[in-house]
Amino acid sequence: MATGVTHLFVPGPTNVPDVVRRAMNVPMQDHRAPDFPDLVNGLLADLRTLLRCRTGRVFLYPSSGSGAWEAAITNTLRPGDRVLMSRFGQFSHLWVDMAERLGLDVVCVDVEWGAGVPVDEYERQLAAEPDIKAVFVTHNETATGVTSDVAAVRRAMDAAGSDALLFVDGVSSIASIDFRQDEWGVDLAVTGSQKGLMLPPGLSILGVSDKALAASAVAGMKRCYFSFEDMIATNDLGYFPYTPPVPLLHGLRASLDLLFDEGLDAVFDRHHHLAEGVRRGVAALGLELCATAPEWYSDTVSAIRVPEGVDGVQVCRIAYDRYRTSFGGGLARLAGHVFRIGHLGDLNEVSCLAALAAAEMALADAGADVAFGVGVAAAQEYYCSAHPAAERSVELSYAAPR
């Protein structure tokens, strides 16, 4: 059916709130105007609040999130530097691939797709190899719906006496899942505009600790576009070394205002609440998550294994073509085996019920044995404030340590 909205449940780009769309729809303006720094300075300050970093700096690049991956590496590490990474999904894989192509000497710990960063193995490696210069963490692996424990990695580093830099890919976690740059000692925190920040793609964000800034002054690879140096020189005046993506800056202003008005903790709780409803729906349908244990469950995306004999590609295709609903497909080795529901950004309970309802129909059309309404009902029980069990579980889930 070609009418109505396309129901968008990919884990990025996410739905852009109308107020953010409006904020971006501005006449063009001079990015060297005398009052332009008013916009820029406010954004740079508020992004520190978002990342919970009181020290260091935040950089904004006109690029996708992978640009900030590259900026983090090329500014602070040297070719041949030994680094510790782990791979358990397409995005952690791509970061490893980038690190290798940029000439790093990568110790890559491969982990089952469905689990996350192997903290104990990290600690062991760090203790064994004191010359490891950087430790990489994919906070939320978007391909598998797995969230890793950054704080635990920090503790492992400290336990191992490592003074490596801690790199975190927070593209699909920051602004949706709790993130604490200072507290967790994150040196390079990467995110992008098109996930929890609810903006179109085109802007990447890099939080940089003082330690990483110091590293960039003495280390680094050949670089120019992503160089900290030029960015610092111009940011200090409230400008950029090249023309910034002006509408996205205005959108970022609106997005940060929305997030801070709601309160970051409330934002994280909301993501957990919506995600938990989706997970209950998935479970009620007898389907399994790709994430292998609750400790890995992601509050921003659920990768759902399709039943035997059902093609996950077909599920997504049918959802899109017949039911005007966009799910994420399985990537790389998960192609055909999962479909993904992104439940981050500008959504609410009824949106998530729509996602489950569409998923039920697409699964049925693709040949799965699905009882209509069962997934929806389980989520409704959780979401519905009138239902005693649901209320209780809401309280529990909010009270439980996360």
What is the footprint of a copy of itself within residues 199-218 (CB under 8 A)?
200-203
CB of 160 to a copy of itself, least distance (A): 29
Q: Taking CB under 8 A as the rule, does residue 85 contact a copy of itself?
A: no
- The beta-carbon contacts of 91-100 under 8 Å, at least 24 apart in sequence, are 91/138, 91/141, 91/142, 91/143, 91/169, 91/171, 91/172, 92/138, 92/141, 92/169, 93/332, 94/66, 95/69, 95/136, 95/138, 95/169, 96/136, 98/66, 98/69, 98/70, 98/73, 99/73, 99/136
Nearer to a copy of itself, 49 or 326 (CB): 326
The nearest distance, CB 128 to a copy of itself, in angstroms, is 28
We find the least distance from the C-beta atom of residue 109 to a copy of itself, in angstroms, to be: 21
Check binding of 388 to a copy of itself (CB under 8 A): no
Near a copy of itself in 36-75, by CB under 8 A: 61-67, 69-70
Q: Are 92 and 171 in contact (CB under 8 A)?
A: no
Residue 382 beta carbon to a copy of itself: minimum distance, rounded to whole angstroms:
10
| C-beta closer to a copy of itself: residue 118 or 375 | 375
Is 322 assigned to a binding site? Answer: no
Contacts of 96 (CB under 8 A, 6+ apart): 85, 87, 106, 108, 136
Our finding on whether 364 is near a copy of itself (CB under 8 A) is yes
Residue 32 exposed, middle or buried by CB count within 10 Å (0-12, 13-18, 19+) = exposed
Q: Are 275 and 11 in contact (CB under 8 A)?
A: no
Q: At its nearest, how many Å lie between a copy of itself and the CB of residue 206?
A: 13
Please identify, using beta-carbon distances, which residue of 65 and 185 lies nearer to a copy of itself: 65
Q: How far apart are CA 353 and CA 382, in angstroms?
A: 11
From 121-129, 179-187, 231-239, 384-392, span contacting a copy of itself (CB under 8 A): 384-392
Instruction: Work out how close the CB of 159 gets to a copy of itself at its nearest, in angstroms, rounded to a whole number.
Output: 32
Nearer to a copy of itself, 160 or 331 (CB): 331
Exposure string of 362-400, with b = 16+ CB inside 10 Å and e = fewer, is: bbbbbebebeeeebbbbbbbbbbeeeeebeebbeeeeee
d(CA 275, CA 401): 16
Q: Give the footprint of a copy of itself on residues 155-194 (CB under 8 A).
A: 192, 194
Site for a copy of itself in 249-308 (CB under 8 A): 262, 270
* 29 lies in the site for a copy of itself, by CB under 8 A: yes
Neighbours of 127 (CB within 10 A): 13
Examine residue 332 and tell whether it contacts a copy of itself (CB under 8 A). no
Listed ranges 18-26, 111-119, 143-151, 211-219: which one lies at the site for a copy of itself (CB under 8 A): 18-26
The distance of closest approach from Cβ of residue 284 to a copy of itself in the complex, given in angstroms and rounded to an integer, is 9
Is 10 a binding residue for a copy of itself by CB under 8 A? The answer is: yes
Element (H, E) at 255: helix 246-262
Distance between CA atoms of 8 and 6, rounded to whole angstroms? 6
Per rule CB under 8 A, count of chain residues that contact a copy of itself = 109
User: Does position 381 bind a copy of itself by CB under 8 A?
Assistant: yes
Distance (Å, whole) CA 238 – CA 248:
16
Binding residue for a copy of itself, selected from 45, 130, 183, 348, defined by CB under 8 A: 348
Binding flags for a copy of itself, 90-109, as an x/- string (CB under 8 A): -------xx--xxx------
Please select the residue that binds a copy of itself; options are 248, 256, 303, 310, rule is CB under 8 A.
248
Indicate the residue among 31 and 180 with the shorter CB distance to a copy of itself: 31
Residues 219-238 that bind a copy of itself (CB under 8 A): 221-227
Euclidean distance between CA atoms 267 and 200, whole angstroms: 19
Give me the torsion for CA of 64, 349, 168, 108, rounded to 10°: -90
* Residue labelled with tokens 């719906």: 145
How many contiguous H segments (helices) and E segments (strands) does the chain have? 14, 14
Instruction: Give the distance from CA 304 to its chain's centroid.
Output: 18
Task: Specify the stretch interacting with a copy of itself by CB under 8 A; choose among 114-122, 133-141, 180-188, 242-250.
Answer: 242-250
Shortest distance, position 46 Cβ to a copy of itself, whole Å: 19
Q: Are strands 188-192 and 204-208 parallel, antiparallel or unpaired?
A: antiparallel
Q: Which residues are annotated as a binding site for substrate?
A: 340
Q: Which residues are annotated as a binding site?
A: 340
